[in-house]
Amino acid sequence: MTALFLLLFAPLFGGSVKWLKARLTHRQGASPFLEYRNLAKLWRKAWVRPLASSPVFLLGPALALLGSALAASFLPILPGLGFPGDFLLALYLLNLGRFFQMLAALDAGSAFGAQGSYREGVVTLLAEPGTLMALAAAVRLGQGSSLQGLPVLGGENALVLTLVLASLAVALLAEGARMPVDDPTTHLELTMIHEAQLLDHSGPLLALYELAASVKMLFYAAGMSVLLPGPRLLVFLAVSGAWALALAYLETYGVKLRYLRLPDFLSYNTLFGALALLGAIWMG
């Protein structure tokens, strides 16, 4: 249920970010619902495949979306799957989709695709440990060692869960390829990370990538929302709206970090995750 809901909600989230960016620059902007039409238009278009590519070029977009959707199915926004240690499988599924996305970019034989894949791998390597420790800390304080039993912010666990929220916030920016880690609107190939991997994809393949990117960001937003008090669906919608506004503001007034400065920024994710896990162990 959660995976289907996020798949349907993802285009609205991406369209809301674009609409808010337009409003921040005093433009009317397109409707937030236009993304549904754009995805449908991409799905109807033809796609091309490099002559030297293998079936991996086609598997990349499909597995990127499938991994994000299956990972989202473990989050308790709506009734879903759950078992002890499911957060490990969720992160594995996210990384599986990213791995095949990188392989598909390399399979196209494009220099920019190879460069984007290398940079994506570095960002993942820097961001993943902190995210893993943060989720482990939240699960340790919860019930059943599962994402279905995550605790709610408040009382003696407030400090630990605040660190978890901070780690997931940095992870959303990194894994979602948003400012200040990456600029999704750039047209300079030498600075691209995520977009450089999509240059050779078109039509339905590009639609799958666009949808997978939005679902991945919503995975982290949903992970943050279940740690906050209140009805989970309403809190998720509020957190998603806040993130849409934050991303629009960052991409309108913020600047992209130099690539060599990314380790400094992503080290905060590891720091927050490590402190949260140590705090959860001390409390437990």
Give per-residue pLDDT as tens, 118-132.
999 999 999 999 999
Range among 50-59, 196-205, 215-224 rated most confident? 215-224
**pLDDT confidence tier of residue 112, bands split at 50, 70 and 90:** confident
**The pLDDT of residue 229 is above 90:** yes
pLDDT > 80? residue 218: yes
Q: Is the pLDDT of residue 1 over 90?
A: no
Spatial contact of 143 and 130, defined as CB atoms under 8 Å apart: no
pLDDT more than 90, % of the chain? 76
pLDDT at 240: 97
Is 214 in contact with 66 (CB distance < 8 Å)? no
Does the structure show a pLDDT above 80 at 284?
no
Q: Give alpha helix (H) positions in 45-85.
A: 56-72
Rounded Cα distance, 76 and 222, in Å: 9
pLDDT above 90 (res 283): no
Give 259's pLDDT tier (boundaries 50, 70, 90): confident
What average pLDDT does the structure give for the chain? Answer: 93
Q: Report residue 49 as tokens.
A: 């495949």
When pLDDT is cut at 50, 70 and 90, the band that residue 228 belongs to is very high
Averaged pLDDT for residues 17-24: 95
**DSSP state for residue 81 in the 8-state scheme:** -
CA distance 265 to 37: 36
Measured at the alpha carbon of residue 162, what is the angle toward residues 161 and 166, in degrees to the nearest 5?
Answer: 115
Count Cβ atoms within 10 A of the Cβ of residue 240 and give its class: 0-12 exposed, 13-18 middle, 19 or more buried: buried
CA distance 214 to 222: 12
Q: Is residue 187 predicted with pLDDT exceeding 80?
A: no
For residues 128 and 209, the answer to whether their CB atoms sit within 8 Å is no
The predicted structure's pLDDT at residue 98: 94
Token digits of residue 162: 């605040």
pTM of the model: 0.95
